[in-house]
Chain A
Amino acid sequence: MEDGENDGKRLVFVTVGTTSFDALVKAVVSENVKEELHKRGYTHLLIQMGRGIYSPPKDDGADGSLAVDYFTFSSSIADYIRSASLVISHAGSGSIFETLKLGKPLIVVVNEDLMDNHQCELAEELEERKHLYCARPHTLHQTLTKMELESLVRCAPGDGTPVARIIDRFLGFPDD
């Protein structure tokens, strides 16, 4: 797994997607999670908090602790993921695959408040295949203490050609 290291900065990027997920934001800024991140050598925590109403306390990290910052939305989430050493994300397939494609270590946190909670299916399946870790807001600390990033397996990039081939054959187009 790649590491977006520069000048000793090791960023943890947290993204909740287009909606809100205050339980995740609260979980990442809880003292024991911040402590564990700091212990693992991460220096910065940046949170994309979406429409959430809970604003975490900012911290410039001047005293050598974990620096904490947040914003609501950005059109360049990919740039943040690229510069991160660890991504903690909601369970949306867009964020998950964007992170995996960039080869970043990923913890997916499932939102238990969502009614139609099929999203945990994908996260759990990908965890089974060792592409990421899957947690709930209240188990995030536990997941962090147990995680071994070396054991994660890189996800093969997706491929639409099998679908395209079947569509072409069905419509009577010649194979190229």
Chain B
Amino acid sequence: MLSLVIVLVVRVLYVMYHCGKPFPKGASRSLTTLIVLGSGGHTAEMLSLLSVLRMDRFTPRFYIAAATDNMSLHKARSFEHSLADKPATKEASLQYTQIYRSREVGQSYVTSVWTTILATVHALWLMIRIRPQVILCNGPGTCIPLCVIAFLFKVVGIRWSSIFYVESVARVQKLSLSGLLLYKLRIADQFFVQWPQLQKNYPRAHYVGCLM
């Protein structure tokens, strides 16, 4: 039992050490990419990032948004549609999925036990199906279960993935809760902030200026 715990701890530390280490040049061709859309301004920022990425490198692409968010997947579809006249975007390599959230604003704590279990199982099911190599996310909370599962996949050896988190432009002085978790637990391989003040407080973050 003790040796199992030690092996696990060593493995977790090894994974944490390796997160944030870049891949050697020429290592990648085309990577299965999971894009988590966070609704509203988050989605707008994410699409603005996607518009400058070389999309042939991030194929196939899976978009996930909260089940209560009606707009984001629609926006992702029209974004992909605007790319479609460029070559090499096959419809089959694109998927759009909604995910249950563990707790909606104003939901009671009693029912949220049940919804949290449901949300976790759903997230696990999606992650097993997708097994992404790259995860792009920028908050809010929707991305947390997916990123935690991705980290566990790294520990267990199911799939190695690189997690990129861009903190919202709305955060000037303090990180969001999601950002703070992914930064402190070193779950995000690369962490980006859009204001220089934040970079001072979180030195492992890249300051990249405004996305919008």
A158 pairs with B210, CB closer than 8 A = yes
B209 pairs with A172, CB closer than 8 A = no
**Could you say which of B24, B134, B168, B189 contacts A93, with CB atoms under 8 Å apart?**
B168
B-chain residues with CB within 8 Å of residue A176 when the two chains form the complex:
54
B 116-134 binary contact with A (CB < 8 Å = 1; else 0): 0000000000000000001
Q: How far is the CA of A122 from the CA of B210 in the complex (A)?
A: 12
Q: Which listed segment binds A: B5-13, B44-52, B86-94?
A: B44-52
B24 pairs with A172, CB closer than 8 A = yes
In the complex, how many angstroms separate the beta carbon of A90 from the nearest chain B beta carbon?
12
B44 pairs with A174, CB closer than 8 A = no
A-chain residues with CB within 8 Å of residue B164 when the two chains form the complex:
163, 167, 170
Specify the main secondary structure of chain B where it touches its partner: loop
A172 pairs with B22, CB closer than 8 A = yes
A166 pairs with B211, CB closer than 8 A = no
Q: How far is the CA of A166 from the CA of B134 in the complex (A)?
A: 14
B-chain residues with CB within 8 Å of residue A158 when the two chains form the complex:
48, 169, 209-212
Interface of chain B residues 1 through 55 with chain A (CB within 8 A): 22-28, 31, 40-41, 44-45, 48-49, 51-54
For chain B, the count of residues having a C-beta within 8 Å of the partner chain is: 41
A-B CB contacts (within 8 Å), total count = 107
Interface of chain B residues 45 through 98 with chain A (CB within 8 A): 45, 48-49, 51-54, 57
Residue of A nearest to B189 (CB): A170
B40 pairs with A18, CB closer than 8 A = yes
The yes or no answer to B166 lying at the interface (CB within 8 A) is yes
B-chain residues with CB within 8 Å of residue A161 when the two chains form the complex:
52
B53 pairs with A94, CB closer than 8 A = no
Interface bracket on A:
20 to 34
Residue of A nearest to B134 (CB): A171
B-chain residues with CB within 8 Å of residue A146 when the two chains form the complex:
none
The yes or no answer to A8 lying at the interface (CB within 8 A) is no
In the complex, how many angstroms separate the beta carbon of A160 from the nearest chain B beta carbon?
4
B189 pairs with A162, CB closer than 8 A = no
A-B contact pairs, 27 of them (CB 8 A): A93-B40, A93-B44, A93-B212, A101-B212, A118-B174, A121-B170, A122-B169, A122-B172, A124-B172, A158-B48, A158-B169, A158-B212, A159-B211, A160-B53, A161-B52, A163-B192, A163-B206, A164-B54, A167-B53, A167-B164, A170-B189, A171-B28, A173-B28, A173-B54, A174-B25, A174-B26, A176-B54
Residues of chain A at the chain B interface (Cβ within 8 Å): 18, 92-94, 97, 101, 118-119, 121-122, 124-125, 156, 158-164, 166-174, 176
Q: Across chains A and B, which 5 residue pairs bring their CB atoms closest together, nearest first?
A: A172-B27, A172-B23, A93-B41, A97-B212, A158-B210
